[in-house]
Amino acid sequence: MERHPSRHPSRKAVLRAALAAGVTAPAVLMGVPALARTVAPTGTAPEPTPACDDGDDPTPPQMEGPYFKPNSPRRTSLLEPGTPGTRLTVTGYVFGLACRPLSGVLLDFWQADVNGAYDNAGFRFRGHQFTGADGSFTLTTIVPGLYPGRTRHLHVKAQAPGRPVLTTQLYFPGEPRNNTDPLFDARLLMTVRDAGGGSQAAFDFVLNVPQTPGPGPGPTPPPGGGGWAVGTAYRPGDRVTYGTGAYTCLQGHTAQPGWEPPKAPALWRAG
């Protein structure tokens, strides 16, 4: 998301570089290039993560569009045998307002195929995943095709445990239709480069999740409700009650605050 290579990197970029290098906190790396994730560790002692007061507003929302479907399969690759199209790998991190990574964030992606068509009958080019302990994610897919009225884009929903859902879209730099698509937002441009016959893209989400420079806030107990319980490991087909409703588990997971059945359609089906 760094779009000003001549400026110092944001605190978020410095922390991202530290995460990529495998250290627990960012060092002072003033003078590194904009793509800070590629910077090698300096060997200096890491400092505590500072407050995120560097202009990193939360990632802006965008419309869902007509093609979203709940209950997508859990997977990090949307490719299937024989899938045509230019391979695309999207990597990044999800941060809160203090530039600290957020683990366990639900990311639900959907997109058009190489011909610009969405699969509304099944789940081709649809899938959800969760960020790792360091807030990172990786999506393997193809560069989506074009269809009338829109520039090239990916759709995504992001939800941290116990927080509202962010619905937005990601865009590709250098696309001619970026200038004519009324929904295009330059703040949602990915960083994209060619790599071995495919493309590699990077984007970091900032969610509206309050944080302090210390450890992230503890979980918020969910409102009361029936048989569903935080910390319980659920398997596909398990049935629970929550409030006055009954729900069936769609994906194996361990329940966390914010993933109550009514709030997590990728995990639970009513009935």
Report pLDDT digits (tens) over 38-50: 333 344 433 333 3
Average pLDDT, whole number, for the chain?
79
Alpha-carbon gap, residue 160 to 137, rounded angstroms = 13
| Alpha-carbon distance values, 2 to 78, 113, 151 (Å) | 27, 28, 21
C-beta atoms surrounding 168 within 10 Å? 21
Residue 26 pLDDT grade (very low, low, confident, very high; cuts 50, 70, 90): very low
Beta bridge partners of 126: 110
Alpha-carbon gap, residue 125 to 110, rounded angstroms = 6
Task: Return the ∠ at Cα 256 (arms to 243 and 101), rounded to 5°.
Answer: 140
Radius of gyration of the chain (CA): 19
Across the range 81-104, mean pLDDT stands at 93
Report pLDDT digits (tens) over 114-157: 999 999 999 999 999 999 999 999 999 999 999 999 999 999 99
* Closest of 177, 202, 196 to residue 87, by C-alpha: 196
pTM of the predicted model as reported, rounded to 2 decimal places: 0.66
Show the domains of the chain with their CATH numbers.
Answer: 1-53 (no CATH), 87-206 (2.60.130.10), 233-270 (2.10.10.20)
Whats the size of the chain, residue-wise?
271
Q: What is the pLDDT of residue 23?
A: 47
* Closest of 171, 167, 141, 143 to residue 156, by C-alpha: 167
Across the range 14-29, mean pLDDT stands at 47
